[in-house]
Each structure stands twice: as structure tokens, then as C-alpha cells.
């Protein structure tokens, strides 16, 4: 028992001890990333559209790309298959079995763009061009009856798309420990 208490005390002390970032020069490992390397990973898109790249894509083009790259996992019409359902779920969020889809749950269209750009297709993330991501975003939003069939999205128009659940998230954050 004393042994367990000592072990616990040692672990707690180690966890509480301040840590310092390792100095690469002292360790003789690694190097500072170049601006080009950082730019390659700096692809996040904020809710307000900051970070959206140049390019554009239409619902029509997105339909073709979706059929080739997305339907096998998400279903022919976004109904879900091996991967999550993308459409439907309207009016279910306040029920005991909410269906969280792009159309029923997501508050910002830019989040959809960001997710597709970073993580899709599952077998080859970050392989799509900006134009392809805009097109897929337009198509998925069209499947959810959020944009019409003749929509073309770009960095200027995408942040202006009004999502059905835009007001469904609390802001500012009500938790007292979050600024």
C-alpha cells in the first residue's frame, strides 16, 4: 500500500512539474519549418470565410464529382451508406433521436468546405482542387435544398449562404470558464 502511494505521488509530481519545449539546437534534431511548408498546412477556413482559396464550383460540376468520389460511401443522394448521412434530418434536433446532417445541424457552409478540403475523399484526403471542393460543397448544399441548382460558389458567395441551423448554436459561450 505504501508502495502504491509513493508511486502515485511520484506520478502526480511528474505531471505537475513544469515542462519546457525542447531546444532543437541542443538536441541536434529537427529544423525550423519554412514558410512554404507552413503555408501547405495552413488551409483552415473560418466560419466567416477567412481562408477560403480562389476558385469556384457549380452544383452541376459537384454532382459529377460526387458520383465519382462520394456516392460509394455517402449514398447516391447523400442518404448515408458506409459513411454518414449528409441530407435530411430537418426538424429532428429537438427530438430524442436527432439526425445531424449538413442540412439540419451544421451552422456554417464554410465548415462544410473546410471539412471536404481537409478530409475527403476518405481514401485520398486533400487531393481535391479548390474548384472541386467548391463544386462538392455546392452540390451537398443543393441536396439539402439550401441552394438552387444553378448555384456557383466561390470565396465571396459561400460565406453568404444561410444555413437552416445558423441560429441553433449559443453564442457567446455560456460556460463561465470560457472567455
Asked if 162 and 108 count as a contact pair (C-beta separation under 8 A), the reply is: no
Average pLDDT across the chain, whole number: 89
CA torsion sign for 50, 54, 60, 66 is negative
**pTM over 0.95, yes/no:** no
Give the per-residue pLDDT at 23.
63
Q: How far is 80 from 60, CA to CA, in rounded Å?
A: 21
Q: Is the pLDDT of residue 2 over 80?
A: no
Asked if 146 and 77 count as a contact pair (C-beta separation under 8 A), the reply is: no
Closest among 165, 159, 169, 139 to 151, alpha carbons compared: 139
Local confidence band at 16 (pLDDT 50, 70, 90 cut-offs): low
- The stretch 24-39 carries a mean pLDDT of 82
Q: Does domain 54-167 have CATH number 1.10.760.10?
A: yes
User: pLDDT per residue over 116-174, tens digit each?
Assistant: 999 999 999 999 999 999 999 999 999 999 999 999 999 999 999 999 999 888 767 77
Asked if 44 and 109 count as a contact pair (C-beta separation under 8 A), the reply is: no
Q: How far is 63 from 76, CA to CA, in rounded Å?
A: 10
Q: How far is CA 66 from the centre of its chain?
A: 17
Amino acid at each position: 500500500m505504501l508502495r502504491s502511494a509513493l508511486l502515485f505521488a511520484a506520478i502526480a509530481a511528474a505531471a505537475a512539474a513544469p515542462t519546457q519545449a525542447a531546444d532543437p539546437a541542443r538536441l541536434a534534431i529537427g529544423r525550423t519549418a519554412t514558410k512554404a511548408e507552413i503555408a501547405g498546412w495552413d488551409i483552415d477556413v473560418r466560419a466567416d470565410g477567412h481562408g477560403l482559396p480562389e476558385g469556384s464550383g457549380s452544383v452541376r460540376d459537384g454532382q459529377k464529382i460526387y458520383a465519382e468520389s462520394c456516392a460509394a460511401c455517402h449514398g447516391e443522394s447523400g442518404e448515408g451508406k458506409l459513411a454518414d448521412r449528409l441530407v435530411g434530418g430537418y426538424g429532428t434536433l429537438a427530438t430524442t433521436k436527432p439526425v445531424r446532417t449538413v442540412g439540419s445541424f451544421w451552422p456554417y457552409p464554410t465548415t462544410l468546405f473546410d471539412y471536404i478540403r481537409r478530409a475527403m475523399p476518405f481514401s485520398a484526403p486533400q487531393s481535391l482542387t479548390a474548384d472541386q471542393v467548391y463544386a462538392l460543397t455546392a452540390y451537398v448544399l443543393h441536396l439539402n435544398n439550401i441552394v438552387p441548382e444553378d448555384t456557383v460558389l466561390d470565396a465571396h458567395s459561400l460565406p453568404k449562404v444561410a444555413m437552416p441551423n445558423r441560429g441553433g448554436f449559443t453564442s457567446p459561450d455560456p460556460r463561465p470558464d470560457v472567455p
